[in-house]
A and B are shown apart, each in its own frame.
Chain A
């Protein structure tokens, strides 16, 4: 059977990393390829491979050029060697719908002191805050990637009816667990950091678990469901820990 050729664009990110691009935009089918390629690279690492970072439609591969150079058997440059390897690996991607995902429920206390921008989001869309909560908690979201801070999930799949632009001026400090909206994306702050997302609620769960393996509650490829909880339930969760 002739093998289906998978389109790929490989470009250098300096001399010690490269980006393997599998498509454009935010798309579940591309995400499935990214996930599949990540698994292939984990099970078949090359000599000199350091690590990879998956993103919406590409993965960045980090490597040690010196190790590759001293073990190479051809006149190819290190970049050419890694590109060829990655191109071959891409051709092993199974282009089937990925049904193998974990569903994680995230309890969220919406509004009040935990969600200072909930009113703004409701007003922006001319709906009640209850409606915003309902739409947000009925969306099934997919974690496309982690970035910005440890365990911070970049998620797609939020209902577009509550898509809201970022704040004009970012807040200097956002509490860990804060659930925010930026355009069509929704995310959860994992550390106390500055940030410009519209904060609509807070989860009592820890997203960054430095002493666990893996060190994060969520991973790329997980599906998320937000479950509304009351302030007293939030306190109970916190005390349980």
Chain B
């Protein structure tokens, strides 16, 4: 089964949960910016949670299905249509042969995800299908999706087949309540932990970080979010050797303007780290559009762990609910 790309859009790439295990070689993780939307899109079509999907950025992308297919669209609201009719989001949907799915522009969030039952058939490189543009590996020939591309689906799991038959008989009329997981507001409080070099910043900067707003500049991308606001400075300069960093690390380069590391971050960094966005807030952060404003709020590591566990339980319960729905009838 295949889908044809009629329009590419701004930046559409094949992404899965990420390329783990090779960071020690300097190979970046990549993967979906909003991992909750990725996982739920897969769950809704009966794929493994970490299967590859398309990540669509801000606008564009029109797809034509060459056969009937089971899909799910999650993430931001792009006023997406199926043959001209607004598509249901966060729901398992059957698509008819020749149907055209058109992602318009984001009215909520900044990244949309579309999962296909069976996943995307593309080579697995270092345990992942994710596109790594700079190294030209993963995804479709290591590049972004282009007009005219043909995307081939993988083999459907038995679970997907069962879901397919079930929905053919009785279309699902319920959707996932994503608001438990992702906040799509463009003015947000993002919860962070103090970074490993927080204490190296002067008292004024330590205070400002939690009191003032920062806005997301247009120089923000999958690699990092460049923020603009009151500059933050060290009490005295010092040399930090390069060391491991992660998704959500807030670095302060010499300009004093924060950079938040995102999905395509480098594996190591040498800038002082003032904070670290908690894992449970990363998808909400990933859905911000340029010019959005952020306020940081400090939480403890225990609170961060509990928020993460709560959201994981929520996802676990959705999986169970879908499972029950399939096997109760």
User: Which A residues are closer than 8 A to B by beta carbons?
Assistant: 11-17, 19, 25-26, 38, 50-60, 62, 65-66, 69, 77-79, 145-152, 154, 190-191, 193, 208, 210-211, 214-216, 219-220
Contacts and interface: CB of A to CB of B under 8 A. Distances in A.
A16 B135 contact: no
Contacts of A52: 24
A192 B99 CA distance: 41
Given A14-B277, A147-B267, A53 B241 contact: no
Interface of B: 20-28, 125-126, 134-135, 137, 193, 196, 241-246, 248-249, 266-268, 273, 276-279, 301-302, 304-305, 308-309, 312
Interface centre among B22, B26, B242, B248 (most CB of A within 10 A): B26
Contacts, number: 138
B305 A78 contact: yes
Given A65-B309, A69-B309, A210 B26 contact: no
Contact of A147 (B248, B266, B276, B312): B266
A93 to B, nearest CB: 18
Contacts of A190: 26
Contact of B24 (A19, A146, A193, A211): A146
A183 to B, nearest CB: 9
Given A53-B267, A69-B309, A150-B135, A215 B126 contact: yes
A66 B308 contact: yes
A164 B137 CA distance: 34
Given A14-B304, A69-B305, A215 B241 contact: no
Contact of A148 (B242, B301, B302): B242
Contacts of B301: 12, 15, 77, 79
A149 B188 CA distance: 32
9 contacts: A55-B244, A65-B305, A147-B266, A147-B267, A150-B25, A150-B28, A210-B125, A210-B137, A219-B25
